[in-house]
Structure 1
Amino acid sequence: MKYTFSHSFATRLSIYVLSFTLIIFATIMALFYYYSQQKVTGFAIERTHGLLSNIATEISGQLLSVETTVNQSVWVLEKNIDHPDSLHNIIESVVRNNQFIVGSGIAFVPDYYKEKGKYFMPYASFKDEINGEITYQVLGSQNYDYPCMDWYLIPQLLKQPYWSEPYYDDGGGNFIMSTYAKPLFDSKGELYAVFTANISLTQFTDTISLLKPYPSSYTYLISRNGSFLTHMDRSKIMNETIFSEAFAKENLAQEQIGHEMLAGHTGTMRFNNKGVDSYAFYTTIPQIGWSVCTVCPSQIILQELDNTSRKIIYTFMVGMIALFLIIYSIIRRLVSPLEKFSESAREIATGRFDVILPEVHSKDEIKDLHDSLVFMQHSLSTYVGELRDTTASKERIESELSIAREIQMGMLPKIFPPYPERNDVDLHAILHPAKEVGGDLYDFYMDGNHLYFLIGDVSGKGVPASLFMAITRSLFRTLSQQVLSPAKIVTDMNNSISDNNESNMFVTLIVGILDLETGKLKLCNAGHNPPILIRPDGQVSFLEFKTQIFVGVIEEFAYTEDETTLEKGSKLFLYTDGVTEAENTDKELYGDEKLLKTLSDNSTSDVRTTVNGIVDSIAEHVKEAEASDDLTILLIQYEPGTTNN
């Protein structure tokens, strides 16, 4: 038989080896990717937070320089407080001396200078930063009521410097700015002015936008209330907060990121950013309470690792294909003798024990297989010869057993009804040996108006039991002639069987004589199952007769008999222990209770139907189990009436 490539041993063994290799590689690759992912992610977190820390430090430094410039200018202001027209020199100097300050002013409390009117706030700002041209103006009017503005009120209430929330200063700087406001107090502790320095948020935009740790990442800056100060999408600046964006997308993770940033925390969080798995790296700028955050897709962080992993996998797959071809070639060469051995084995199986096996020169398992096949050839040749002789002998024995079975069954009455000319008695019997021949027996004959009957069970099975059964039946026929006492018949049978019984076999017997005129029943039970009486009214019960010793055990034992009178329509049920001890596959016995119930259910049936009902019931109980004992039944029905002669 030629095997296809996909079914050959070499192919399957190669696949098994490669499958095991693939499992090991997949396990190693998974561990490598997992630990590499942890390492790459950790490096990304450390690197990005380092860049954010630098940005935060840079912005903090810029803000600190603004604060320092203002603080250092306070003493000049206080020195010239009585000369309001000279104050413009101070604020112009503040603007010129700090590159981050785009405007500066001194907002005096209302009516501080009576001659200047209610509002007086000298303010200087760059008109043209390229040329360094500064414009000066005095702010304060009903339209620019600065005492009501946050940058004025909050430091007044807090009595300490304050960085304002970013705002658009219409009438002052006319751009988005944040103001550092330092409250000034007189010797009595009364506020007399707020010294301000403005910074433009546009100067942070470039700095923040340049922070791109990875391609496709972006960085934004938020204020203390969560407003976007810088963002990749410029339409969000000062128009949206981090929370409005989170609420619009129902993004709880982004909302949590916003709370963490406003709380001044530094950290990393993985979240879903508009359908893209991303990382958020955030930190605070403690100088002003703002927070900066970098958002980066996780795929970008792991892109290099994924590319490297794919290269490794592709290289491995090419190697697997090459390895498969090499392994297949080697295994194919090693197992090629097996195909020849297979062909030789099939020829040996057909009976050709002299087939020449292929030569093997190696000293391995293939050589052992060759030697085993040679040994098998010689063993099979010898075994077949012996089997041929054994089969012939078995066939002779089976033929002899078949003849013995025919002889044994021929000794028993098997024509039913046996006395069709009589209507005062009817009976039916069956005998099913467990083997070819058995040790059960039944017999009956009519002598005038007396019905002689016998049922027995020889110890053991097979041929010895069948011979013992034949002797027992012959003795019954010989010794019962003209004898009206079952006890005498059994006693004489026991004496004959016990004499020279070197095999120590025995038989259980019930011998009975039924007077068909009177219904008188005499019965001797020699160790057999008690008979069952089925009364005309359907009641079923065991006959409580005395049970005596087996026949063939003790010579000269004097047996006794019991006597009863049968009513018209009564039935006498006799059987061997093969009925009640029939076992099913669960080793459960048929039992007396089931036998009595089945007889009760068939009490109104004729003898043939009743016997067949018992046999069917036993078969239903036993099912597939093997018969464990011979099965014998004899059923006699007494119906006294006119005898047809």
Structure 2
Amino acid sequence: MRIPIRWKLLLFIGVPVLLAYLAVGVTEFIVLRRDAMQIMQKEVQLLAQLQAEAFNMQLSEAQKITNAYAAFFQKQPDLELDEIHDLLRTILDSDDLIAGVAVAYEPFQSYDPSLRITAPYMWLQDGEYKLKDIGLEAYDYLDREWYTVARDPGRPGWTEPYYGPVFEGLLCTYSVPFFRDGRIRGVVTIDLDLVPLQETIPDAGIDDEAFAVFSRSGAIISHPDESLILTKTVDDLIKDYDDPQFKKLRQNIADATPGSARVTGFPMPYPHWMVLTPIQATGWTMSVSVPESSVMAPVYMRIRSLMMILGGGLVVILVAIFVVGSILSRPVTNLASAVSRMRAGDLSAQAENISNRDELGDLARGFNDMTTQLQKQIDQLALETAAREAVESEIRVGRKIQVSLLPQDFPAFPQHPEIGLYAINSAAKEVAGDFFDFFMVNGKLIVLIADVSGKGVPAALFMAVSRTILRNLANTGATPDEILTAANTLLVADNNAGLFVTLILLQYDPKSGHFSMANGGHPPPFKITTDGAVEPYGESTGTVIGMIPDQKWGKIEGHLKPGESLVLYTDGVSEAGGKGKQMLGIDGTQALIEPHSSEDPEQLCNSIVSYVHEYEDGNQGDDITVLVLKHDTPSG
């Protein structure tokens, strides 16, 4: 269905404006409600905080007294029973809120080591001091909350409120551990009488029905209706009144964090705002409530006035949109037609007959310029994509050719079971500069591992040339030092790119285990002995190949006993390092090989390459090549 543009403007502008007006109204309501709530909360919270602070001051004073005497018990571990009784009496006299005090010991840790448990307890009843040892009267307190609340975490703690077992009264216990030789020896506890604290709340100016105090578990521990104390919990109130908003306050009470919500039922039967304030000393929560009517009446009056003003403004805006839409609808037709053709797939579509010298004309001409540039960009992108795919295809072919130059078949010499040999080449880019080779010449095994400077295509080309020269020279039967000297002469002659290659070349007799080795600036190999020891073998016998003319190389003579191996590798192993990690180096490479020294050549190669990949966090920075030659003992 086709809708005229003026009606669309009404919809696309009028509706957002209407929504914006609604958003303004809602925002204003939220702001006013928030401000009213903040004012109410500040007033009520101030009142609650004053009372909570009064609680805190009295509870904190009791805490300080208990902490001080616990420290005294810790510093004076050899107190006699009479002295302990005197201290209990002193603690009891120090604060009117303290209804009882005890010192309870860990098993066999008291003033009398023969006693399993003992806990002298003193309280004041009818002006007379009462004393009993609750640990000696078949009362095992070791699992009681007033004991475990301090013993288990090894720090002071409060219990949930309870009715005292020794004398009637609403109590709460504060317990502090004391130690000997780093181990808990016992706990000093005080029982606080909560009734005097509750009696101070109405004196603070809080309405009788408007307050309650909850413990951390949600139990009511202070309320004008004494029948609710310790008989009702937050969970009970949630079930009784089924108020979702009151249910949300459950977590604030459990966490002892400030909160507020609009609730009905408790403590007032009509809608009201309940404000929660934590009592820091104990983790309890004080709630103070205020009727909603007294908070929200000014807010509702302000919102009604605002809605009347916004409604009149909306009517004026909608009329203006309709008039302007009628004027603008004609010049837009040509542009809409061009857009339709472009949507149908004609990316060269142009808006025709554009003569307007206003913003709509600029829009149409900009559209025409855009489609022209878009077509040019599409054509250019197609050319670049084709060229890139051609290059990438050639590089993939180059890698396949490069891989085909490396020996692929393992075991390499099945007719020579005494030769254990395996190698892996892992390229950092599409093509590699590392390479390895091995082949038989006159009954001797030629083993080669090399690393061309640089990476990518230039290094790969130099690798192919170097491999061909080295293989041809080795087939003449020359010694390793002679091969490196002759190869350097050939490579230096036409090396305009400044590339070079480091390598190790071995001439190995598989029957005797004897070998000759020349090292052209390459990391030294590692020799694995029959007892699993790993140690660097040999030094460089000359500089790198292909850079400096008229150089000569020496050679090293060596021998592999049956069961011994040589591990050859490129600097992609020894110089491996992940982000924020040091390079492995020679020592790190040796440490890498040692746990795998008993593995066969294939397993050892795979273990080394896998470790390097993991060490570099999967971001391989250089070509990795590993070759292991082992003097195997033929089975059977």
- Tell me the TM-score normalized by structure 1: 0.51
AA at the equivalent of 2:545: V
Letter paired with 2:542 = Q
Which of 439, 443, 446 pairs up with 1:452? Answer: 446
Residue from 556, 564, 567 that aligns with 1:570 = 564
1:436-477 Cα deviation digits (max 9, x unpaired)? 222111111112331111111111222221111111011011
Letter in 2 for 1:621: Y
In structure 2, relative to structure 1, the CA distance for the partners of 1:346 and 1:249 (3 Å cut) is farther
Match of 1:628 in 2: 621
SS at 2:517's partner residue? Answer: strand
Partners of 2:585 and 2:337 in 1: CA distance: 57
Q: Does 1:320 align with 2:324?
A: no
Task: String of CA shifts for 1:583-635, please: whole Å, max 9, x gaps.
Answer: 4455664554553334222222211111112222223333443x322221111
Structure 1 residue 606 corresponds to structure 2 residue 596: no
Closer, same or farther in 2 for the Cα pair 1:619/1:345, shift >3 Å? Answer: farther
Confirm whether residue 463 of structure 1 aligns to residue 457 of structure 2: yes
CA distance in 2, matches of 1:447, 1:306: 101
User: Which amino acid in the other structure matches residue 23 of structure 2?
Assistant: S
- The offset of 1:486, in angstroms, is 0.9
Q: Letter of the aligned partner of 2:621 in structure 1?
A: S
Give the whole-Å Cα distance in 1 for the aligned partners of 2:401 and 2:297. Answer: 93
Match of 2:189 in 1: none
Structure 2: how far apart are the matches of 1:530 and 1:375? 65
Question: Among 618, 624, 639, which residue is 2:632 paired with?
Answer: 639
| Aligned sequence identity (%) | 28
Q: In the superposition, relative to structure 1, how do residues 512 and 368 fare at CA in structure 2: closer, same or farther (>3 Å)?
A: farther
Instruction: Check conservation: 2:419, 2:510, Cα contact below 8 A.
Output: yes
Give me the whole-angstrom Cα distance separating, in 2, the residues matched to 1:329 and 1:593: 84
CA 1:314–1:540 in 2, change beyond 3 Å: closer, same or farther? same
Does 2:544 align with 1:550?
A: yes
Aligned 8 A contact 1:483 1:489 in 2: no
- Choose which of 537, 545, 568 in structure 1 pairs with 2:531: 537
Does the Cα contact within 8 Å between 2:350 and 2:367 map onto a contact in 1? no
517 and 21 in structure 1: CA distance in 2 versus 1, 3 angstrom threshold: same
Q: 1:19 is matched with which residue: 15, 23, 32? A: 23
CA change 1:537–1:385 in 2 (3 A) is same
Report the AA paired with residue 304 of structure 2.
Y
In 2, the alpha carbon distance for the partners of 1:479 and 1:248 equals 106
- Which of 235, 242, 252 aligns to 2:203? It is 252
CA contact (8 A) 2:522 2:540 kept: no
- Corresponding letter in the other structure for 2:624: L
SS at match of 1:569: coil
Indicate how the Cα distance of structure 1 residues 609 and 8 shifts in structure 2: closer, same or farther if over 3 A, else same. farther
* Letter in structure 1 aligned against 2:479: S
Kindly tell me: are residues 438 and 325 of structure 1, through their superposed partners in 2, closer, same or farther at Cα, counting changes over 3 Å? Answer: farther
The answer to whether residue 384 in structure 2 is matched with residue 390 in structure 1 is yes
CA distance in 2, matches of 1:483, 1:467: 26
What is the root-mean-square deviation in Å for CA atoms of aligned residues?
A: 4.9
Counterpart amino acid of residue 629 in structure 1? D
In structure 2, list runs of 5 or more residues that go unmatched.
3-7, 40-197, 208-223, 225-266, 270-289
Q: Residues 11 and 328 of structure 1 are in contact (CA less than 8 Å); yes or no, is this contact kept in structure 2? A: no
Distance 2:426 2:561 in 1: 30
Query: CA–CA distance in 2 between the matches of 1:489 and 1:555?
Result: 15
How far the C-alpha of 1:579 sits from its partner, in A, is 2.2
Report if aligned partners of 2:569, 2:625 keep a CA contact under 8 Å in 1: yes
Query: What's the CA shift for 1:494?
Result: 0.4
Please list, as runs of the form range in 1=range in 2, the aligned pairs for 1:187-266 lying within 5 A after superposition.
Answer: 251-252=202-203
SS at 2:518 equivalent: strand
Looking at structure 1, the residues matched to 204 and 392 of structure 2 have their Cα atoms a distance apart, in angstroms, of: 90
| Alpha carbons 2:502, 2:545 under 8 Å: kept | yes
Report matched runs for 1:106-125 at 5 Å.
none
> What CA distance in whole angstroms lies between the structure 1 residues aligned with 2:200 and 2:584?
79
CA drift at 1:397:
1.9
Paired residue secondary structure (1:548): coil
Distance 2:26 2:573 in 1: 65
2:599 maps to a residue whose letter is S
CA contact (8 A) 1:546 1:562 kept: no
Please give the per-residue CA displacement for 1:558-605, whole angstroms capped at 9, x wherever unaligned: 111122222221111111122233444556645545533342222222
Q: Which residue of 1 aligns with 2:375?
A: 381
Residues 529 and 342 of structure 1: CA distance in aligned 2, closer, same or farther (over 3 Å): farther
Q: CA deviation at 1:16?
A: 5.0
> Relative to structure 1, is the Cα distance of residues 24 and 340 closer, same or farther in structure 2, using a 3 angstrom cutoff?
farther
Range with bigger deviation, 372-381 or 338-347: 338-347
Residues 408-439 of structure 1: per-residue CA shift (max 9 Å, x gap) = 22211111111011111111112122222221
Is 1:420 the equivalent of 2:414? yes
Match of 1:494 among 488, 500, 516: 488
Q: 1:180-211 deviations in whole A, cap 9, x for unaligned?
A: xxxxxxxxxxxxxxxxxxxxxxxxxxxxxxxx
Counterpart-to-counterpart distance in 2, 1:609 and 1:445: 22
CA distance in 1, matches of 2:13, 2:570: 60
| Alpha-carbon distance in 1 for matches of 2:596, 2:203 | 83
Seen in structure 2, the aligned counterparts of structure 1 residues 347 and 394 have a Cα distance that, compared at 3 Å, is: farther
In structure 1, what is the Cα distance between the partners aligned to 2:319 and 2:520? 81
Which whole-Å CA distance do the structure 1 matches of 2:319 and 2:617 have between them? Answer: 56
Q: In structure 1, how many angstroms separate the alpha carbons of the residues matched to 2:581 and 2:343? A: 40
| Residue identity matched to 1:435 | K
Structure number, greater radius of gyration: 1
Could you tell me which of 383, 399, 405 is aligned with 1:411?
A: 405
Of 505, 509, 514, which residue of structure 1 is paired with 2:503?
509
Hey, what's the Cα distance between the residues in 1 that align with 2:343 and 2:591? 56
| AA at the equivalent of 2:382 | R
2:438 aligned with 1:438: no
Aligned counterpart, 1:616: 610
User: 1:14·1:327 contact (CA, 8 Å) conserved in 2?
Assistant: no
1:16–1:553: structure 2 CA closer, same or farther, 3 Å change rule? farther
Matched residues in 1 for 2:437 and 2:488: separation?
A: 17
Aligned-partner SS, 2:566: strand
- AA aligned to 2:474 is S
Aligned to 1:189: none
| Paired AA for residue 631 in structure 1 | I
Paired amino acid for 1:445: F
- 2:231 corresponding residue in structure 1: none
- TM-aligned CA deviation for residue 498 of structure 1: 0.3
Contact 1:517 1:640 in 2 (8 A): no
Name the amino acid aligned to 1:600.
E
Q: Which residue of 1 aligns with 2:393?
A: 399
In structure 2, relative to structure 1, the CA distance for the partners of 1:309 and 1:637 (3 Å cut) is: closer
The equivalent of 1:125 in structure 2 is: none
- Unmatched runs of 5 consecutive residues or more in structure 1: 36-246, 257-271, 277-297
**330-339 vs 559-568, which moves further:** 330-339
C-alpha contact 2:450 2:570 (8 A) present in aligned 1 = yes
Query: CA contact under 8 A between 2:521 and 2:540: conserved in structure 1?
Result: no
Cα distance in 2 for residues equivalent to 1:516 and 1:307: 102
C-alpha deviation, 1:481, in angstroms: 2.1
